[in-house]
Structure 1
Amino acid sequence: MSVFVTGATGFLGKHVVKECLDKNYTVIAAARDQEKGDALVRQFNNPNLSAVSIGDLEKLDAFDETFKNHGNHIKYVIHCASPAKWDIYSYEKDLLIPARNGVRGILESIKKYASDSVENVVMTSSFMAIPDFSKMGDNSITFNEDSWNPTTWETCQTDPLNAYAGSKTFAEQEAWKFYEENKDVVKFKFSTVLPSYIFGPQVFDTDVHEHLNASNETINQVLHATKMEDIQPLSTQFCSVKDVARVHVLALEQNNLSGKRLFVTSGAFDVQDILNHLNADFPQLKGNIPVGTPSKGIEINPPGAVIENKRTRELLGFPLKSLKQCVDDVTKQVLRHEGRL
């Protein structure tokens, strides 16, 4: 029996595929087109991996062909695919509809063609689906696994970041609604994984380029900065891509994780915290990157609303990686690529 992984060619998706293969699962990877799927198979060079093309996520029947042909052999589904882009002409067309239709489509396809064979479905949501961002500065507020972003279809369409937050919120709500309405029709268990800002190395060194994926580009930008003005301000929560991939696969295997929103965050960070670790851990960068104001880091004492995932940590039972580990892993890979390590 196989694990079907959507979004498999992305930064997180490749780590999920690797985690599955490392645990000797047979993996069917979904890609937007066959060329990308074939490239993924070549990269891993593992006989337990194959790929299928699904086309556009916004098409509600995008997954029908896969489950018609392979449904009897698919035991687990990990749905990582969701649009994440910032060069947007239409918030609805580019983000909201593809995210919502993607999850609705895959769940409907399982219901139609694999309701007896699929035993567990895990969906990638996001920290963005948790907080009310208008209250992030209020230290009397706590956001956790029970919290939901209160945005609406209309109010989120103000800028790309809010539209992205809306897309993750509506997609996850769509999934839970489907699961509750179809418990008697399908046999699978369901859970969601909500990662914060994801840092970590690429699975393959060949995927390191001048510019990295959106989250890791934050670290990449800092380690190539010559003055503070080169650094885009950012303060949010972070987690390790390796931890997030591990949680996805554990959610397939462990009954105590079923029916849960698993909020994966190691804590808060500011770009100053990244600078602090780079200056402390990489002598070749000292004097070439800014120092900033080390005391202004928030890693130890984050301001504003309390953000906690105690329940998730207790369920998982393993320590999540630190900011130092994440920053060092990314930086070592980039410096190797540039011949500086």
Structure 2
Amino acid sequence: MLSTTVFVSGANGFIAQHIVKQLISKNYKVLGSVRAATKGEELAANLNSPNFSYVVVPDIGVAGAFDDALKSHPEVIIFLHTASPFRYDIQDIEKELLNPAVNGTKNALKSVQEYAPQVTNVVVTSSFAAIGWSNKYFDPTKVSTEEDWNPQTWQDALANPDDGYLGSKKFAEQAAWEFVKIEQPNFRLTTVNPPVAFGPQAFPIKNKKELNTSAEVINGLLKLQQGYDIPEVRHLFVDVRDVAAAHISAFENPDAAGKRLFVSSGPWSAQGIVNIFHKNFPQLSYIPIGEPWKDTLYRSSTFKFDNSKTVEILKVDLRPLEVSIVDAVQQILEAK
């Protein structure tokens, strides 16, 4: 029996590497796109599998970015679009965040429609940012579900990079659903909408200076010294390994077609993460204890949500916060 070939755009991303790793463990063949050959070679070395190959797509925002890759690989049956810009060191929010996210998604779907009619399922990595009523729209009484859209406008998104990121996720996902509605392509679309993804990197850390954003949240707390205040940060989380598994369920499970999968395990706070440090890692006694009881207060004041529809489709038990944090911290402490 021939293995199904899955295309994963942005294959060297934090979530994407876990997706690729899980796909290969399930005997899929994976064709990943990366921005530079060095990234592809590094991922190939980590995977060490004949079932992985890569193509270079330097800029997903360019029209036809995926055309050549799909023309050259008619064996691709599933397309997972995880690539999206996410950086804060930007000068022009519209030019560097919003347009690349929207155009990158449209370009991927157009290429699949035109040059890969054999593709049955497309899965787009979106975000809780496209769902949650954040920033100036935050409402502590609002219960977010798979049906909700962040009410932010394009103009709101131009205010600062944080709002720009929220907007990039919302408008890119909306562009995907609009494309399917108008074009009626052969493939079925599913989106995966995670909040902050914690947990270990897919492979051992070689350079602590190159951690992804959510791992840097943990690493930043590991650097706290006595006398420092613990940040009053809180949000929702999900384990990165569960996000990856949701991407695979998104095309394996027929019930997921045409759905938004809102994968969230629950709330977290910086104080709660520090509490986990002190419970599990006695060598981290240098980190301030803070006020452990405030974790409950912080978690109760963040986003409320109901993702029961997603949980029913996926039929999985999502990992709890302590597992995600312990696994991530152990990996960071083992890194040079």
Contact 2:120 2:188 (C-alpha < 8 Å) held by counterparts: yes
Deviations 1:238-275 (A, max 9, x none): 11000000000111101011111000111111100001
Contact 1:59 1:101 (C-alpha < 8 Å) held by counterparts: yes
> CA offset at residue 136 of structure 1?
2.7
Report the equivalent of 2:58: 55
Give the direction of change, closer, same or farther, for the CA distance of 1:229–1:158 in structure 2 (3 Å limit): farther
Measure, in 2, the Cα distance between the counterparts of 1:317 and 1:244: 13
Partner of 1:176, secondary structure, is helix
AA partner of residue 289 (structure 2): V
TM-score by length of 1: 0.93
> CA offset at residue 153 of structure 1?
1.4
Measure, in 2, the Cα distance between the counterparts of 1:253 and 1:40: 24
Measure, in 1, the Cα distance between the counterparts of 2:297 and 2:37: 42
The structure 2 residue matched to 1:75, chosen from 71, 74, 77, is: 77
Moved segments of 4+, more than 3 Å: 227-233, 298-301
Is 1:89 the equivalent of 2:87? no
Partner of 2:312, secondary structure, is helix
> CA offset at residue 310 of structure 1?
1.4
Contact 1:211 1:220 (C-alpha < 8 Å) held by counterparts: no
Give the direction of change, closer, same or farther, for the CA distance of 1:61–1:302 in structure 2 (3 Å limit): same
How high is the sequence identity, in percent, across the aligned residues?
Answer: 39
Please, which runs of 5 or more residues in structure 1 have no aligned partner?
none
Contact 2:64 2:107 (C-alpha < 8 Å) held by counterparts: yes
Contact 1:86 1:160 (C-alpha < 8 Å) held by counterparts: yes
Give the direction of change, closer, same or farther, for the CA distance of 1:269–1:52 in structure 2 (3 Å limit): same
Measure, in 2, the Cα distance between the counterparts of 1:137 and 1:180: 30
Give the direction of change, closer, same or farther, for the CA distance of 1:211–1:81 in structure 2 (3 Å limit): closer
Report the equivalent of 1:266: 265
> CA offset at residue 335 of structure 1?
1.4
Partner of 2:54, secondary structure, is strand
> CA offset at residue 55 of structure 1?
1.2
Measure, in 2, the Cα distance between the counterparts of 1:121 and 1:87: 30
Measure, in 2, the Cα distance between the counterparts of 1:57 and 1:334: 31
> CA offset at residue 26 of structure 1?
0.5
Is 1:242 the equivalent of 2:241? yes
Is 1:323 the equivalent of 2:321? yes
Measure, in 2, the Cα distance between the counterparts of 1:245 and 1:53: 22
Measure, in 2, the Cα distance between the counterparts of 1:10 and 1:138: 32
Is 1:111 the equivalent of 2:113? yes
> CA offset at residue 152 of structure 1?
1.6
Deviations 1:20-47 (A, max 9, x none): 1011000000001222212211221100
Please, which runs of 5 or more residues in structure 2 have no aligned partner?
none
Report the equivalent of 1:302: 300
Report the equivalent of 1:17: 20
Contact 2:271 2:291 (C-alpha < 8 Å) held by counterparts: yes
Report the equivalent of 1:125: 126
Is 1:152 the equivalent of 2:160? no
Measure, in 2, the Cα distance between the counterparts of 1:171 and 1:50: 27
Contact 1:129 1:166 (C-alpha < 8 Å) held by counterparts: yes
Deviations 1:193-212 (A, max 9, x none): 00110111111114451452
Report the equivalent of 1:229: 228
Give the direction of change, closer, same or farther, for the CA distance of 1:250–1:228 in structure 2 (3 Å limit): farther
Give the direction of change, closer, same or farther, for the CA distance of 1:206–1:154 in structure 2 (3 Å limit): same
> CA offset at residue 295 of structure 1?
0.6
Count of paired positions: 332
Deviations 1:195-235 (A, max 9, x none): 11011111111445145211111111112211363654421
TM-score by length of 2: 0.95
Report the equivalent of 1:142: 143
Contact 2:133 2:139 (C-alpha < 8 Å) held by counterparts: no
Measure, in 2, the Cα distance between the counterparts of 1:28 and 1:228: 49
Partner of 1:174, secondary structure, is helix
Measure, in 1, the Cα distance between the counterparts of 2:297 and 2:214: 17
Partner of 1:284, secondary structure, is helix
Partner of 1:298, secondary structure, is helix
Measure, in 2, the Cα distance between the counterparts of 1:25 and 1:262: 22
Report the equivalent of 1:335: 333
Measure, in 2, the Cα distance between the counterparts of 1:163 and 1:242: 26
Report the equivalent of 1:275: 274
> CA offset at residue 151 of structure 1?
1.3
Give the direction of change, closer, same or farther, for the CA distance of 1:35–1:227 in structure 2 (3 Å limit): same
Give the direction of change, closer, same or farther, for the CA distance of 1:68–1:38 in structure 2 (3 Å limit): same
Measure, in 1, the Cα distance between the counterparts of 2:154 and 2:139: 24
Report the equivalent of 1:173: 174
Partner of 1:62, secondary structure, is coil
Report the equivalent of 2:201: 202
> CA offset at residue 137 of structure 1?
3.9
Partner of 1:43, secondary structure, is helix
Contact 1:151 1:166 (C-alpha < 8 Å) held by counterparts: yes
Contact 2:8 2:32 (C-alpha < 8 Å) held by counterparts: yes
